[in-house]
Amino acid sequence: MTQPPLPNGLQPSDFYSPGSYTPFESVGFLMRKVLSSILQQADAQLAEHELTYVQWLPLYKLLLCSDATNAGMARDLGLDPASITRALDRLESKGMLRRERSTVDRRVVKLVLTDEGRAMAAKVPQVLSSVMNAHMAGFSHDESRQLLDMLRRLLTNGDAMRAPEAAPPAPAPATPVG
């Protein structure tokens, strides 16, 4: 099996092997379980504000980056367009955002936070900080930074493996003249 390319000529780790691999010792499985726990706890705390994960995520993103569309929001958040549309419809019905047609390109519909949406989105960092700090209980600041660095390295490796799929194929080598 061909290994995907890694950044800076790194070689793949030999930590996992087919004969001893189990999901319960997999970094991916554990990250998914941790993410699930974080989202459940955040949802539980944001439920008192009548928000779900699929609602507070775009709400907070709009607070951070005001120039957004449905399609861009779905792409940036890694959610399917139908889910984002339903969440945005719900947020609009709650008066937290409005859709405005672009004056430059009438095909584009921009998402704009209302004052109520901005106030609600401003509560998200407090909830997420609380949830993350609870999950990081017992970690020193150095360990927390180290974990973040390791996760970023995993992301960099993953991005490098995906990059060839997005790039056009390399041209075939020239045939030597002889």
Q: Where are the domains of the chain?
A: 26-147
Residue 175 predicted with pLDDT over 90: no
Name the average pLDDT for the chain: 85
Most confidently modeled of 7-11, 33-37, 52-56, 159-163?
33-37
Least confident of 7-11, 32-36, 66-70, 122-126: 7-11
Amino acid at site 111: L
Residue 88 predicted with pLDDT over 60: yes
Q: Residues 95-118: what's their mean pLDDT?
A: 90
What pLDDT, on a 0 to 100 scale, did the predictor assign at position 173? 45
What pLDDT, on a 0 to 100 scale, did the predictor assign at position 165? 52
Determine the length of the chain. Answer: 178
Q: Residues 164-178: what's their mean pLDDT?
A: 45
What pLDDT, on a 0 to 100 scale, did the predictor assign at position 4? 67
Residue 161 predicted with pLDDT over 90: no
Residue 7 predicted with pLDDT over 70: no
The structure's pTM equals: 0.74
What pLDDT, on a 0 to 100 scale, did the predictor assign at position 67? 74
CATH class of 26-147: mainly alpha
